[in-house]
C-alpha cells in the first residue's frame, strides 16, 4: 500500500537510516545493538529536524583574524520523550544539542481501548518560549502522540515537531487531522496496524526490544 503523505510529513530516506532500520527490524537483532542503532538513527533524524533552527552571529577571533561567525540563536530547544520508548531517541538528540532542556510524558496504551492514559508529566517551566521536539519511535494509532502534542500545546507551546522512526497510515491520518501544524519526521511509513495495534511489518514492541523486557 502506498500512503499519500500530508504536507506536514517528511520521510527521511537516507541510505544510512534505511540500512540501520533494516537491522533494527530483524527480530534476531539483540537489545544492545537495537539501542545503538536507534541512537545512531536519532542523530541522523535530528540533523533534519533541527535544520531550521534560528541562527545569529557572534564576533570571534580565529588565530588569523576577527570574524562574525554563525551561532545558534536564542532559547534552546526542549526534547520531550514519550515514555518509555521515546528515551531511545533521546540520547542521540542530546548529543547534538547538549544544552537542550528535557521533558518526559508518561502515557500507556490501554490494551483494550488503545486509548492513551497519562501517568507522568514533567517539562521545563519556560517550555512555552521554546521549540519542542517530541520523540516517540512508533507512530501507530497516533492516539498517544496526539495526546502528548495536545498536552504540550496546553502549556502554550507554539513551535512543535515530532521525530518518529516508523509511522503507520492510521497514525499519519490521525495526526494530520488533529495537529496539521506539527511537522513530523519519520524514517519510514509501514503498511498497516494489526488487531493489537502493532505496526506491520514494523519491528515489534520498541520498548521491549530496547530494554529486553520480553
Among 97, 191, 205, 211, binds ligand URA (CB under 6 A): 205
Which triple of cell numbers denotes residue 194? 494489526
> What DSSP character marks residue 8?
T
> Of 52-111, which residues contact ligand URA (CB under 6 A)?
85
Among 138, 146, 187, 188, binds ligand URA (CB under 6 A): 138
Total of chain residues touching ligand URA, rule CB under 6 A: 10
Helix axes 143-153, 169-178, angle to 10 degrees: 20
User: Cβ of residue 196: shortest distance to ligand URA, in angstroms?
Assistant: 8
CA distance 129 to 183: 18
Strand order in the sheet with 9-11: 9-11, 183-186, 160-163, 132-135, 78-83, 101-109, 116-122
Among this protein's residues, is 113 annotated catalytic? yes
Among 29, 94, 96, 198, binds ligand URA (CB under 6 A): 198
Contact stretch for ligand URA (CB under 6 A) within 10-18, 30-38, 120-128, 193-201: 193-201
Which triple of cell numbers denotes residue 28? 534476531
User: Which of 92/202 has CB closer to ligand URA?
Assistant: 202
Closest CA to 137 of 17, 50, 38, 12: 38
Considering 39, 91, 109, 159, which one is annotated as catalytic? 109
Among this protein's residues, is 205 annotated catalytic? yes
Considering 91, 129, 159, 208, which one is annotated as catalytic? 208
Which triple of cell numbers denotes residue 57? 552571529
Among this protein's residues, is 65 annotated catalytic? no
Summarize as ranges the residues that interact with ligand URA (CB under 6 A).
85, 138, 140, 197-199, 202, 205-207
Amino acid at each position: 500500500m502506498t500512503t499519500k503523505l500530508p504536507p506536514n510529513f517528511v520521510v527521511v530516506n537516507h541510505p544510512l537510516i534505511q540500512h540501520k532500520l533494516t537491522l533494527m527490524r530483524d527480530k534476531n537483532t539483540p537489545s544492545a545493538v537495537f539501542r545503538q542503532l536507534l541512537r545512531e538513527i536519532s542523530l541522523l533524524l535530528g540533523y533534519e529536524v533541527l535544520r531550521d533552527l534560528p541562527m545569529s552571529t557572534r564576533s570571534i577571533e580565529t588565530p588569523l583574524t576577527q570574524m562574525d561567525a554563525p551561532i545558534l540563536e536564542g532559547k534552546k530547544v526542549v526534547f520531550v520523550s514519550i515514555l518509555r520508548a521515546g528515551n531511545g531517541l533521546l540520547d542521540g538528540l542530546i548529543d547534538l544539542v547538549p544544552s537542550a532542556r528535557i521533558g518526559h510524558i508518561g502515557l500507556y496504551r490501554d490494551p483494550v481501548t488503545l486509548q492513551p492514559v497519562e501517568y507522568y508529566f514533567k517539562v521545563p517551566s519556560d517550555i512555552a518560549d521554546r521549540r519542542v521536539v517530541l520523540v516517540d519511535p512508533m507512530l501507530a494509532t497516533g492516539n498517544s502522540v496526539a495526546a502528548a502534542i495536545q498536552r504540550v500545546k496546553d502549556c502554550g507551546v507554539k513551535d512543535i515537531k515530532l521525530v518518529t522512526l516508523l509511522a503507520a497510515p492510521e497514525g499519519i491520518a490521525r495526526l494530520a487531522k488533529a495537529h496539521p501544524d506539527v511537522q513530523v519526521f519519520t524514517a519510514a511509513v509501514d503498511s498497516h496496524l494489526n488487531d493489537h495495534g502493532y505496526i506491520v511489518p514494523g519491528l515489534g514492541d520498541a520498548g521491549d526490544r530496547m530494554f529486553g523486557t520480553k
